[in-house]
Amino acid sequence: MAQVPDTKHMTATPATRVLGAVALVAVLLMVLLGLVVSPADVVQGQAVRMLYLHVPSIWIAYGAFVLTSFSSALFLMRSRRRHDGGRHYDRLAGSAAEVGVVFTGITLATGMLWGRVTWGTYWQWDARLTTTVLLFVTYLGYLALRRLPADPMTRGRRTAVMALISFVNVPIVHYSVDWWRTLHQKASLSVGRRPEITGEMYWTLLYSTLAVTIVASWLIVHRYRVIRLEELRDEEALEALIASRLKEDDVQA
């Protein structure tokens, strides 16, 4: 008898619907605060408004890559202990990495627009920009590796190792403005450091970080579901192919 797949994590639930609604409302309020309530900066002018998406995006990317690395490490530890190899952690790593890549791309795009206004050019081979591009390309490679045809467990181990190696660049990106002389300003928000902005801009940036976190959480949940559905599709295709071959063998016999 064919095994009935576990589908409880593959359909929308009241909790995820609420999360989606909260994410939508949070983004609308973020737009209102960023474009209307928060004032222009005395130095950067209206360009400061891009920071309300730029800064949260890179923080979400950091967090997503932390989750990818943590899940990959758990997958490697449990892949030899459980019958399913802890594939839940592999799916979680993949979904978090996809969201991290999206927000890294948003970081680069908004950073280039901000650079055009403040530096007069879209791009400089600055330490922060260069390391961020390397981070983006590295995790694109991780996602490409996940798409290569292979046994799921073998592919999971390969990508888990790559995720752990790729994470080395995350602290380099974050501390590049401290370790090297760069055009990029110091971190607007940093643990243990006085914030570079104050007042309404500070609170708007904090709220924007919360709003983008909610959106990223909703995206990770749904990307996890899609990855699981893709696995079921591949498993069904494999079972159909095996059944077809067995039928051919029976006919020839």
Rounded to an integer, the average pLDDT of 14-20 is 86
Rounded to an integer, the average pLDDT of 147-170 is 89
76, 160 contact by CB (below 8 A): yes
Identity of the amino acid at 147: R
89, 74 contact by CB (below 8 A): yes
At residue 190, the pLDDT reads: 56
At residue 137, the pLDDT reads: 95
Which residue has tokens 């990959």?
72
- The DSSP result for 12-23, as a single string, is --HHHHHHHHHH
Distance CA 22, CA 148 (A): 36
Whether residue 208 is predicted with pLDDT greater than 80 in this model: the reply is yes
Ordered alpha helix ranges (H), 124-191: 127-147, 152-166, 169-179
At residue 71, the pLDDT reads: 94
Structure-model confidence comparison of residues 83 and 34, the more confident one: 34
Distance CA 59, CA 190 (A): 10
Burial of 55 (0-12, 13-18, 19+ CB in 10 A): buried
62 token code pair: 């950091």
**C-alpha distances in angstroms, 123 versus 53, 128, 172, 228?**
18, 11, 19, 39
112, 128 contact by CB (below 8 A): no
> What SS3 state is found at 43?
coil
Distance CA 206, CA 214 (A): 13
At residue 2, the pLDDT reads: 43
At residue 127, the pLDDT reads: 84
pLDDT tens for each residue of 163-198: 999 999 999 998 887 787 776 666 655 555 555 666
**pTM of the predicted protein model:** 0.82
Distance CA 23, CA 154 (A): 36
Distance CA 252, CA 225 (A): 41
pLDDT tens for each residue of 78-117: 877 655 667 889 999 999 999 999 999 999 999 888 888 8
Sign of CA dihedral 7, 11, 13, 16: positive
104 token code pair: 């890294």
